[in-house]
């Protein structure tokens, strides 16, 4: 009802009441009642229409995130995610005419300017809606896709009693949303009766022009309800354009069913989802029974420019490749590290080795024990590889690790089996073989560590300590007893095949210990010049080996005999004379023996400090039951070489 219509109604009542005869004393009372009625009508008339070019200081009913900003903007959501906000005109409007609430529904028209400011340029929260509702209490409504209008249980129920015009920026399949940029007319729920892409029809051409709800620019919307036709028309346009003639949406709604009482609240509802966004209403006008007062769009405060994140897709376009590249390279580095680590400690292990498990060392342990096989831990370099000192990680046992390079895997099984067998040998004059490890092209043998190194250094090094006769004899006896053990006392006959001074190691008590055994097999494959194709070392080889090529106890004993001479004489088995010609030490000794000057052959460095009896082995020869006598006997039996 317009103001003039209200006044006409007052005049009508005035006329009607004047027609009846009225007692004079009642006149002041009637006048008072009339004044009251008039006042009410004027108030109603004022409520029938309003215009907010700014919301500053205006009395609106706000709830949730809704607030009026310092600029006078009505902010429905404040950027916090998953919240809702409502703003209603404080008093309900008489949506039905006549004094009784059952009167005909009246036309109304509203215009408003809205703006959505999302964190991302192409992604936002659900949106906002203009609402005409029986109640302004939306406390049970949900945020996110329900836009603060309904919840999962009551969505679409007739008891909701609302008409909403949604500006929806999210596609919700459950509500049959068409796009993330659409407008819709909704009754009692989030499923639109009609919906269309945000935009407008150009007045001249009738062409449809798209508009973006998310471009952070304010735009205007008109909602017109024509009571005569029961049609709701929704029209949108950019701020600079007048209201287009053709509405974007049009639907017939039974407003009297929606608003069953006489009054209804008008306002806005909005909510945020998981993306931070702000929904604003910049200006709003409303009028019953006529077109909404035009808004002065030129004087509106600007939409706040929040600290906006760049376009999400742009962000992804930039960040994603970098992130994935970083991820891939991180993965590659990790893989490389694992591979390197794996490679660093990689071993060669075959099924048949399972049985030898206890004798197998992990390469990693040996690697750490020897500090990565560093030169500081190098004990010496033999004919077939380097020997390193190490301390085993757990047991703290001192070991010598011999690294033998080998390419052939041929005979490896037999060899390892032999290594393991030899590992079972226990004798105080043997260097204990603790176990082995295998890698690609490499075999590692782990021995007990002998702190005083190999005997040949003491015998042949110029600046080393001179071993006394007593020490020498003890070493010889020790080695002899170990050979006896190998040959006779163990369940199998073990041939050392490479008895020599450099393979006799000295423990802390300067006991001689035979070591480096068991490599003979491997030596078969060796091509080292130090060895002949026959197993063993030049100078120690028994003469028959040259013919048969077969090692025997006797060939071991022959080598031991040479070793004994080497220790007693302090000279290498093959000596060079003044002309540089090689001679066997054995021949020299035999020559002296025949001349009866055997004691001349004893090491000069002893300066005569030795037991002649022992050197000549006179007593031992008589006693043919001792192990040494066998050796002596053998030596005397040896036919001349050369």
Ligand X SMILES: *[C@@H]1O[C@H](CO)[C@@H](O)[C@H](O)[C@H]1NC(C)=O
Ligand Y SMILES: Nc1ncnc2c1ncn2[C@@H]1O[C@H](COP(=O)(O)OP(=O)(O)OP(=O)(O)O)[C@@H](O)[C@H]1O
DSSP state of 486: I
Selection from 640, 611, 616 nearest residue 628 by Cα: 616
Asked if residue 515 lies in contact with residue 431, where contact means CB atoms within 8 angstroms, the answer is yes
The interface region with ligand X, picked from 79-87, 97-105, 155-163, 345-353 by CB under 6 A, is: 79-87
**Would you count residue 79 as binding ligand X (CB under 6 A)?**
yes
Min. distance of Cβ 290 from ligand X in angstroms? Answer: 36
What's the alpha-carbon Rg for the chain, to the nearest Å? 55
**Would you count residue 431 as binding ligand Y (CB under 6 A)?**
yes
498 catalytic? Reply is: yes
54, 78, 91, 552: which one binds ligand X (CB under 6 A): 78
Cβ neighbours of 422 (radius 10 Å): 21
- Residue 518's binding partner among ligand Y, ligand X, none (Cβ under 5 to 8 angstroms by kind) is none
Asked if residue 509 lies in contact with residue 453, where contact means CB atoms within 8 angstroms, the answer is no
**Would you count residue 526 as binding ligand Y (CB under 6 A)?**
no
Q: What distance in Å separates the CA atoms of residue 48 and residue 239, rounded to the nearest whole number?
A: 25
Kindly determine how many residues on this chain lie close enough to bind ligand Y according to the rule CB under 6 A: 21
- Residue 402's binding partner among ligand Y, ligand X, none (Cβ under 5 to 8 angstroms by kind) is ligand Y
Selection from 449, 565, 542, 450 nearest residue 496 by Cα: 542
**CA dist 403 to 392, 396, 499, Å?**
16, 20, 20
Asked if residue 570 lies in contact with residue 585, where contact means CB atoms within 8 angstroms, the answer is no
Letters for 383-422 (x = contact with ligand Y by CB under 6 A, - = none) are xx--x------------x-x--------------------
- Considering beta carbons, is residue 127 or 382 the nearer one to ligand Y? 382
Nearby residues of 225 by Cβ (< 8 Å), 6 or more positions away: 107, 108, 109, 231, 232, 233, 253, 255
**Rule CB under 6 A: which of 342-381 touch ligand Y?**
379-380
Asked if residue 224 lies in contact with residue 291, where contact means CB atoms within 8 angstroms, the answer is yes
Asked if residue 358 lies in contact with residue 364, where contact means CB atoms within 8 angstroms, the answer is no
- Considering beta carbons, is residue 404 or 505 the nearer one to ligand X? 505
- Residue 454's binding partner among ligand Y, ligand X, none (Cβ under 5 to 8 angstroms by kind) is ligand Y
**Would you count residue 481 as binding ligand Y (CB under 6 A)?**
no
Q: What distance in Å separates the CA atoms of residue 197 and residue 191, rounded to the nearest whole number?
A: 15
**Would you count residue 123 as binding ligand Y (CB under 6 A)?**
no
Nearby residues of 625 by Cβ (< 8 Å), 6 or more positions away: none
- Considering beta carbons, is residue 80 or 408 the nearer one to ligand X? 80
**Rule CB under 6 A: which of 491-550 touch ligand X?**
508
Min. distance of Cβ 572 from ligand Y in angstroms? Answer: 13
**Would you count residue 423 as binding ligand Y (CB under 6 A)?**
no
- Considering beta carbons, is residue 431 or 562 the nearer one to ligand Y? 431
Q: What distance in Å separates the CA atoms of residue 78 and residue 383, rounded to the nearest whole number?
A: 83
- Residue 382's binding partner among ligand Y, ligand X, none (Cβ under 5 to 8 angstroms by kind) is ligand Y
- Residue 465's binding partner among ligand X, ligand Y, none (Cβ under 5 to 8 angstroms by kind) is ligand X
Min. distance of Cβ 462 from ligand Y in angstroms? Answer: 16
- Considering beta carbons, is residue 279 or 513 the nearer one to ligand Y? 513
Helix, strand, coil fractions of the chain, as percent rounded to 5: 35, 25, 40
The interface region with ligand X, picked from 75-83, 358-366, 565-573, 620-628 by CB under 6 A, is: 75-83
- Considering beta carbons, is residue 90 or 451 the nearer one to ligand Y? 451
Q: Which of 498, 516, 556, 603 is an active site residue?
A: 498
What does the angle CA 526 – CA 532 – CA 537 come to, to the nearest 5 degrees?
A: 100
Instruction: Extract the tokens encoding 229.
Output: 């036709």
Task: Show the DSSP H helices in 431-527 as ranges.
Answer: 455-460, 469-484, 520-523
**Would you count residue 65 as binding ligand X (CB under 6 A)?**
yes
Min. distance of Cβ 529 from ligand Y in angstroms? Answer: 11
Min. distance of Cβ 279 from ligand X in angstroms? Answer: 12
Exposed (0-12), middle (13-18) or buried (19+): which is 369, by Cβ within 10 Å?
Answer: buried
Interface contacts to ligand Y, rule CB under 6 A? 379-380, 382-384, 387, 400, 402, 431, 447-450, 453-454, 502-503, 505, 515-516, 530
Catalytic residues: 498
């Amino acid at each position: 009802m317009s103001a003039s219509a209200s006044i006409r109604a007052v005049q009508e009542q005035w006329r009607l009441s004047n027609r009846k005869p009225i007692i004079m004393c009642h006149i002041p009372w009637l006048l008072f009642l009339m004044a009251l009625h008039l006042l009410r009508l004027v108030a109603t008339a004022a409520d029938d229409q309003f215009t907010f070019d700014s919301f500053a200081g205006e009395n609106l009913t706000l709830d949730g995130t809704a607030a009026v900003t310092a600029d006078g903007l009505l902010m429905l959501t404040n950027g916090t995610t998953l919240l809702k906000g409502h703003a209603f005109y404080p008093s309900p409007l008489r949506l039905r005419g006549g004094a009784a609430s059952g009167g005909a529904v009246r036309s109304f028209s509203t215009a408003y300017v809205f703006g959505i400011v999302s964190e991302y340029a192409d992604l936002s929260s659900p949106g906002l809606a203009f609402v005409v509702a029986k109640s302004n209490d939306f406390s049970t409504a949900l945020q996110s896709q329900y836009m603060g209008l309904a919840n999962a249980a009551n969505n679409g129920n007739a008891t909701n009693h609302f008409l909403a015009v949604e500006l929806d920026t999210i596609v919700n399949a459950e509500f049959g949303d068409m796009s993330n940029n659409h407008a819709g007319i909704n009754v009692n729920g989030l499923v639109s009766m009609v919906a269309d892409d945000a935009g407008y029809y150009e007045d001249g051409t009738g062409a449809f022009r798209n508009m973006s709800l998310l471009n952070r620019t304010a735009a205007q919307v008109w909602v017109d309800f024509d009571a005569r036709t029961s049609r709701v028309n929704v029209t949108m346009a950019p701020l600079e354009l007048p209201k287009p003639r053709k509405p974007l949406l049009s639907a017939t709604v039974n407003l009297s069913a929606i608003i069953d009482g006489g009054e209804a609240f008008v306002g806005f509802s909005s909510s945020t989802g998981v993306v931070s966004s702000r929904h604003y209403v910049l200006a709003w006008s409303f009028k019953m029974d006529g077109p909404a007062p035009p808004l002065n769009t030129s004087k509106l405060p600007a939409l706040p420019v929040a600290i906006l994140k760049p376009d999400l897709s742009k962000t992804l376009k930039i960040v994603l490749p970098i992130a994935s590249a970083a991820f891939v390279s991180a993965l590659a580095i990790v893989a490389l590290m694992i591979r390197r680590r794996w490679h660093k400690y990689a071993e060669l292990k075959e099924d048949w080795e399972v049985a030898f498990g206890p004798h197998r060392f992990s390469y990693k342990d040996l690697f750490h024990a020897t500090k990565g096989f560093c030169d500081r831990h190098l004990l010496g370099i033999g004919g077939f590889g380097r020997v390193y000192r190490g301390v085993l990680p757990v047991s703290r046992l001192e070991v010598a690790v011999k690294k033998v390079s080998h390419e052939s895997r041929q005979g490896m099984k037999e060899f390892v089996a032999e290594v393991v067998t030899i590992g079972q040998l226990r004798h105080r004059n043997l260097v204990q073989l603790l176990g082995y490890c295998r890698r690609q092209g490499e075999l590692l043998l782990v021995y007990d560590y002998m702190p005083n190194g190999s005997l040949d250094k003491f015998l042949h090094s110029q600046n080393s300590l001179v071993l006394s006769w007593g020490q020498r004899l003890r070493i010889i006896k020790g080695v002899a007893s170990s050979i006896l053990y190998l040959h006779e006392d163990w369940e199998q006959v073990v041939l050392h095949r490479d008895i020599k001074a450099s393979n006799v190691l000295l423990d802390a008590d300067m006991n001689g210990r035979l070591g480096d055994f068991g490599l003979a097999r491997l030596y078969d494959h060796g091509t080292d010049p130090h060895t002949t194709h026959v197993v063993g070392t030049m100078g120690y080889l028994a003469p028959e080996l040259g013919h048969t090529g077969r090692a025997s106890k006797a060939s071991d004993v022959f080598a031991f005999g040479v070793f004994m001479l080497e220790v007693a004489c302090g000279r290498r088995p093959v000596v060079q004379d003044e002309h540089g010609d090689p001679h066997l030490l054995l021949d020299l000794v035999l020559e002296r023996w025949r001349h009866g000057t055997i004691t001349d052959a004893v090491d000069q460095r002893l300066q005569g400090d030795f037991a002649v009896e022992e050197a000549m082995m006179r007593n031992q020869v008589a006693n043919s039951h001792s192990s040494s006598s066998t050796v002596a006997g053998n030596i005397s039996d040896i036919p001349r070489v050369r």
